[in-house]
Structure 1
Amino acid sequence: MSTETLVAGATLPPLEIPPISRTTLALFAGASGDHNPIHIDIDVAKSAGLDDVFAHGMLSMAYLARLLTDLVPQERIRSYKVRFAAITPVHGQPTCTARVESVDEVGGERLATLELQVSLADGTTTLLGTAVVVLD
């Protein structure tokens, strides 16, 4: 999608993520340094009253950041904020979406404010957020 044509109300192409596997969780734990056993050990998850392990919230945030960097280079992201709304279970399939809330000229830069969301196939919203990016 061209940043030159983005206007308020436009939606970015969604980023569909394959189902979250146990391998993905283990690899993310190693890469992030977040080895909390609730994300990788089913016995720990069950002892906490859960059916199974679940994804790191920061993994979903990283996927959502990929949606942004597919649009603009990282250095053009001015702000990025999210609120975690629900867990992503193992085997959940996240889809990242963004809608352009506004496009404004500020200090010689064309800035887009984006509404962000990560949802699962069953309709559960796991993350909500906003980002401001420089379009050109």
Structure 2
Amino acid sequence: MTEPASSTIEGSILSPLSIDGISSEKMKVLALLLGDPNPIHFDINAVRELKVADQVVNQGPSSIALIYNLIETNYPNSHVRKLSVRLSGNVLAGDSVDASGTVTNVCADSGDTVVTADVSLAVAGRGTVISGAAEIVVGGQLST
């Protein structure tokens, strides 16, 4: 088994994932794919009229996917056993975001290494908008 890119030592900091400029065009496509008719994801006039923000709002699942991207970047060929997060703010079109994490526990389970990490997504200038914890099976096989 190949050692993961990130350490499996408690207290280790995951390599952060940064994205400059969340795309409003990709939000429109995702709204269509999800069948999400909420105009805050694609209509700037609706967003302003509702006084939600000054840019369209990224879908929650898309923002959470950035946490999954963080995990895949740090632990290729792993899988997430459990992800529990709280959304406490919005990611807007044009925002720069940083996904980060810290290993809080490492244990063995049926021959696999299971890493637990606190994870978060922060928007530059506004702070944390997603926080939570992930259980990652490193190098394990998905059970069927």
TM-score (norm 1): 0.87
Aligned match of 1:72? 76
Aligned match of 1:93? 96
Matched ranges for 1:50-65 at <5 A: 50=52, 51-65=54-68
**Any idea what the Cα deviations from partners look like across 1:82-102, whole Å, max 9, x if unmatched?**
110111122111111111011
Aligned match of 1:113? 116
8 Å CA contact 2:107, 2:115 repeated in 1: yes
**Any idea what the Cα deviations from partners look like across 1:67-113, whole Å, max 9, x if unmatched?**
11221335x32111211011112211111111101111233322110
Of 27-36 and 98-107, the range deviating more from structure 2: 27-36
- Residue 56 of structure 2 aligns to a residue whose secondary structure is coil
Kindly tell me the number of residue pairs found equivalent between the two proteins.
Answer: 134
**RMSD across aligned positions (CA):** 1.8
> Structure 2: which 5+ residue stretches go unaligned?
140-144
Aligned match of 2:125? 122
Counterpart code for 2:69? R
8 Å CA contact 2:23, 2:93 repeated in 1: yes
- Residue 26 of structure 1 aligns to a residue whose secondary structure is helix
- Residue 101 of structure 2 aligns to a residue whose secondary structure is strand
8 Å CA contact 1:13, 1:97 repeated in 2: yes
**Any idea what the Cα deviations from partners look like across 1:13-52, whole Å, max 9, x if unmatched?**
1111121122121122233332421111012111211323
| Higher helix content, 1 or 2 | 1
> Structure 1: which 5+ residue stretches go unaligned?
none
8 Å CA contact 1:72, 1:133 repeated in 2: no
8 Å CA contact 1:113, 1:131 repeated in 2: yes
8 Å CA contact 1:54, 1:88 repeated in 2: yes
**Aligned equivalents of 1:5, 1:69: Cα separation in 2:** 13
TM-score (norm 2): 0.83
8 Å CA contact 2:77, 2:138 repeated in 1: no
Structure 1 residues 107 and 131, CA gap change in structure 2 (3 angstroms):
same
Matched ranges for 1:2-17 at <5 A: 2-3=3-4, 5-17=7-19
